[in-house]
Amino acid sequence: MALDEQKTDDNFYEIDGFQYIVEKDFMAKAQPIKIDFNNYGFRLDSSYDFGATASACSGCGTSSTGGGCGA
């Protein structure tokens, strides 16, 4: 998760007053996506397997069981 501006290859969603931008290609691979906020920050759950890239985040929890880097 990161702050970004909408591009032509993005989907835009507004849910409960929050605005979300998701790349169309990523959405096709990761859907469904669920974003929650808890006491520790944002939590991202999706069907995408982050296992191959999680090591680059030094164990920040970027997976279907944890939050994302910089979230």
pLDDT digits 0-9 by tens, 27-53? 998 999 898 888 888 888 898 887 765
Beta strand segments in 17-56, E: 18-23, 33-38, 41-46
> To the nearest whole percent, how much of the chain has pLDDT over 90?
27
Q: For 16-49, b where at least 16 C-beta lie within 10 A, e where not — what string?
A: eeeeeebeeeebeebeeeebeeeeeeebbbbebe
Torsion angle, CA of 8/69/52/6, rounded to 10 degrees? Answer: 0
Per-domain residue ranges for the chain? 10-57
pLDDT at 37: 86
pLDDT band for 24, please (50, 70, 90 cuts).
Answer: very high
